[in-house]
Amino acid sequence: MNIRRISAVLLAALTLPFVAACGSSGSDGDQATSSTEVTFWSFLKGSDAVAEAFNKSHPGITVTFETQAGGAEYYTKLSNAVSSGDVPDVAVAEYIRLPEIVSLEGAEDLSELSGDVVADNFPEATRELVELGGRTWGVPRDAAPMLYLYRKDFFDQHGLEVPKTWAEYEALAEKVKAIDKKKYAGMYLTADSNMFSALSWQAGASWFDTEDDSWQVGINDEPTKRVAEYWQRLVRNDLVAPFPSFTDELYRSVQQGDLVGYVCASWCAGGLQATVPDQKGKWAVAELPSWDGQPTSAMWGGSSFIVPKGAENAEAAAEFIEWITTDPEGIAAWYADGTSSMYPADPELVPVAKDGFVTDYFGGQDIFAVDSASYDSVRSGWAWGPTMAATDQVFAGDLGKVVDGSAELADITDDAQRATVEAMRGRGLDVTE
């Protein structure tokens, strides 16, 4: 897969007037230097503390943080803000959504302001997520290598081993159910497609590629079908507990000791610690099982920061973004509450993350060492498409049907394929299947 070629095809979807004007409003020198006010939109935990820390250390710029709800609602609000011209100066953009934002002319071209920052501080695999069409559109904040979180005390008590393969994971799930039919070694999300897409990525799927300036879409490709059939079987045999997403219901199951393990990512460790604090010392993390037993991972989540199209103060915004993504003091501010397990996209800043994370909850385990091993084994060649909202809508609406038996997961991938191709062609993109 040629990610740079994908980027070029994505950029071709933009109109020429937009490409010519990229950065014009935000990078105008007189306009950018005349203002010290920066409005910051984010739904990421700790964003308020980061803005406060920046303001204390940068008296020439005042960042005003405005908390956002996150999810699809956030991206709709951001799109509406761009349309109205009333945009923040800095906004969070998850990697999965950045290509769509760019293709809809929602972000300023940061090549001049932040291109060197991205080139100098981040690995190629992460740069590829924010560099589209040879231009820089965002600055990475975190990576999200996948993990398996598990109740170490329960595993030790019953002589259970952490699985290295997905076959071993299925056997583990059966053993846990045999110990107590109310307990589960995993979960299945019924209204959140991120887990399924990440597992497909890990299996070697290629949902988006390009050839001869045409998009190729393969959301129902062979690796994805393999993942679908496997998790269909786990659901059908009641080996994983269904939850819509990371809801109170899920954490209640954790609190009660029923959910004793689950697939997640680096950021989940902090969420678990903050939500179920009284289980300190009982949990551990491990690398994700793989199909062949060799270390292989993917990313579930991860985010960057952008300057929305039309922002009035791009230079000050870029200075703020650089500080909160690459400066050790800025990175340290994300860990102010001691529970964030955010894995920095810049591997050189992992020591800062370790210093800011209290390890007692995981029995003193160096979870960032496990994160790093997982990050190193992330399968290369994955790219997100320009209409992920349409893809996600199908999965989010139908994943729950697998639980009640009214749909097969493999068939849902076919539906997502059709909806995605239709959405892309509706945007005027050339698509082959």
Closest CA to 390 of 428, 429, 418, 410: 418
Q: Can you say whether the dihedral through the CA atoms of 195, 199, 205, 206 is positive or negative? A: positive
* pLDDT attached to residue 72: 86
Q: Give me the mean pLDDT over the 249-274 stretch.
A: 96
For the chain, what percent of residues have pLDDT higher than 90?
81
For 249-276, what is the mean pLDDT?
Answer: 96
Task: Give pLDDT, residue 71.
Answer: 86
**pLDDT-based confidence at 28, cuts 50/70/90?**
very low
Residue 185: closest CA among 139, 151, 230: 151
| 341 pLDDT above the threshold of 80 | yes
Extended strands (E) in 163-316: 187-189, 208-211, 214-217, 241-243, 261-265, 283-287, 303-306
Measured between alpha carbons, how far is 86 from 344 in angstroms, rounded to an integer?
30
Q: Look at residue 35 in the predicted model and tell me its pLDDT.
A: 46
pLDDT at 250 over 80: yes
- What pLDDT, on a 0 to 100 scale, did the predictor assign at position 298? 95
Phi, psi of 178, rounded to the nearest 5 degrees: -70, -35
**Which residues sit opposite 306 in a β-bridge?**
91
pLDDT digits (tens, 9 = 90+) for 289-320: 999 999 999 999 999 999 999 999 999 999 99
- Is residue 338's pLDDT more than 80? no
Confidence at residue 126, expressed as pLDDT on a 0 to 100 scale:
87
Is the predicted pLDDT of residue 32 greater than 60, yes or no?
Answer: no
Between CA 92 and CA 76 the distance in angstroms is 13
pLDDT of 62 higher than 50: yes
Q: Which residues on neighbouring strands pair with residue 214, listed in sequence order?
A: 211
74 has pLDDT over 60: yes
| pLDDT class of 20 with cuts at 50, 70, 90 | very low
Task: Indicate whether 125 pLDDT > 90.
Answer: no
β-partners of residue 261 are 150
What single string gives the DSSP state of each residue in 372-417? HHHHHTBPS-----TTHHHHHHHHHHHTTHHHHTSS-HHHHHHHHH
Lowest mean pLDDT among 44-53, 75-84, 133-142, 353-362: 353-362
pLDDT higher than 60, residue 33: no
d(CA 298, CA 204): 10
pLDDT at 15: 36
**pLDDT above 60: residue 80:** yes
Are the beta carbons of 89 and 317 closer than 8 angstroms? yes
d(CA 222, CA 200) in angstroms, rounded, equals 10
* Distance (Å, whole) CA 319 – CA 338: 25
pLDDT in tens, 38-61: 999 999 989 999 999 999 999 999
Residue 426 has pLDDT above 90, yes or no: yes
**pLDDT interval class at 6 (50, 70, 90):** low
CA 269/CA 280 separation, integer angstroms? 12
DSSP characters for 231-243?
HHHHHHTT-SEEE
**Rounded-to-integer distance, Cα 31 and Cα 249, Å:** 49
Strand partners, 187: 241
Q: pLDDT at position 27, please? A: 39
Question: According to the model, what pLDDT value does residue 21 have?
Answer: 34
Residue 9 has a pLDDT of 56
User: Is residue 281 predicted with pLDDT exceeding 80?
Assistant: yes
pTM, two decimals, is 0.88
Sign of CA dihedral 75, 81, 83, 87: negative
Structural domains in the chain, sorted by start: 3-142+302-345 (3.40.190.10), 146-299+381-432 (3.40.190.10)
Q: Kindly tell me if the per-residue pLDDT of 334 is higher than 90.
A: yes
Residues 168, 170, 172, 178: is their CA dihedral positive or negative? negative
- Output the average pLDDT for the chain: 91
At 10 the pLDDT is 57
CA 15 to CA 217: how far, in whole Å? 22
Residue 43 exposed, middle or buried by CB count within 10 Å (0-12, 13-18, 19+): middle
pLDDT in the model for residue 381: 82
CB neighbour class for 408 (10 Å; exposed up to 12, middle 13-18, buried from 19): middle
Average of per-residue pLDDT across 197-218: 91
